[in-house]
Structure 1
């Protein structure tokens, strides 16, 4: 058993892809728990705060209150805080920056003994999900603990890839020159300490589709057939294969290549996909493939591309508070902005202020926007929106407002 470490912000956000071209130097420190100190619930716990630049000052917060402030004799890139007693709680750290402090790290919560949570497996932004033999693929496996060993698996097969990580919480798996037999579902897992505690649960699977040119491409059509449908209407996409019992995938061109938009497993030789209430965010090039249900899970050659271009504004998002009533000063407040379009940048804006107070890029269609370490100055009315600069430039309207109240007790 180990002590569970939970990031309150969703992994798809806090550990997700780098946001669109930043023009500033990142100063936010990293905070993680050393896995060796989490093997026993009663053990002392070591938290490491790593700065972006060398500094002599480090500060640890617990539940919104300063827990410990350290001033070193010489600049260092990181400092370790030793926790004893009841270590359960919510932690952040910050480091010295000139004559002030950096922003706080992401939130880290120690919640007591439980089984280690599964990691998250993602395709690298430059990798494609539907690919030809000989291509290169990079996976990223992210765990909530540091100092662990990782393993990548295809189905139940353990792949011979490096297990050690030089990063506190993640590893990159590079598959060079993938072959037809490399298609299928991939997962990753981690172990805490030399197999003594066993493996964590598996991540959610990521599927790779290897196109076998010997399998004829399907026939792909759209209704209406116009490449410029009206906003708010529905487009029906039909994928016809020369065999029965296959699984079909609707594929959309993404920044890094071709990604599966959705799957369907009909009984016959064709699949029907619908894009409902379409908007500018549906503008893309689409194709379809079919996949064998038996090993080696070969995929067909892709169909011809269908181009879809839609004018008009994207759908308006909805902003939800994840709390009720007033929020206690020193706590965090998380507002969830929910849209319908993945792979966009979400912004949180305070009423009366032109600049966003929080910006998050995610591959999901929604994002958690956190206001940390609240004080009376954070009270007010908030709205959210989302935007994109690729493949089409658009910006949604603002959501309805959510009121944030902050109380001292």
Structure 2
């Protein structure tokens, strides 16, 4: 096609797009390219301010190639172009609802060379750890050829037969070429290959990921838990049995529960995966013991978990045990002691109440008896006669001893009628 024909075709298409919309249709949106992300291109169809729609459509020339529907009214929508749709020769326009069509635009494809991969290091450098240990990863990006520092770093793990998965949250950095990750291992599922990458945000292409670093191999060694038992076949001994899969340089240790330092340590023979510990000469009755073993793997020593505890009874013979408490608290003993204390306190309170009532009743009866004795004593005294004598007025005597004046009215000669001859002290 000649250049003149190409422009004529374009003009006809533009005329058809513009004439297809009615004059009363909402104004046309704008179609622009937001970013290039690897093998696809993102376009955004933006309605003018105050307008929007539930349906957005993308056209390639006059062919409808994509439709996006929303439950609520939106002002913009994103479209993704892949494969041949990203070629520069293609022309695109968009529409929201029954609006006018946007102007045509051509996708701008920017060919990018892959970003150089970062360098990943880990501590411990051997990559061998046991469950519960923490891995420290250090991811460092190369010098920035794009004159833009990384925005974030990612740490990923891939196990056999699985795709890569993000291990830790993305580390957002600012003006930094490196990031640190700390990962606490839980079990064998944390084994695998670890890689890191960094992200850049470029003006024309948006966010771009770098290629992954060289993998770091991590092996989480989870030794089987040993078993500890009291054996009496060859005398009384505590036998600790480890895993037959690890016979090289096995070291067994015996611990008393609650004590960090081992009481004894034995080196197992190359053909055995167990060790025997003699029972201590003096120990407390009910003392509990545990054992643990460790093996050497590539200049790294791995330790197993503690075995289940074994309680030592009193063994007759040359062993002597004391009845001292092992320090472990018996819940039943505590409940029984508290119950006995409560019952004893209730018994003391009842006894005190009974004694108080008895003393009060005794005191009351004694008071009544003393009161009765007092009244009996009062009533047992002599009969009190009631004597009435006439008072004589001796104010003046006549000659010859005769009285002057007349006698007065009869009245008692004593002011205290209760007085007796025997006991006159009542007045």
- Same fold by TM (over 0.5)? no
Which is richer in helix? 2
Select the structure of larger CA radius of gyration: 2
Which is richer in strand? 1
TM-score category, normalised to shorter length: under 0.3
- TM-score normalised by the chain length of structure 1: 0.26
- TM-score normalised by the chain length of structure 2: 0.25
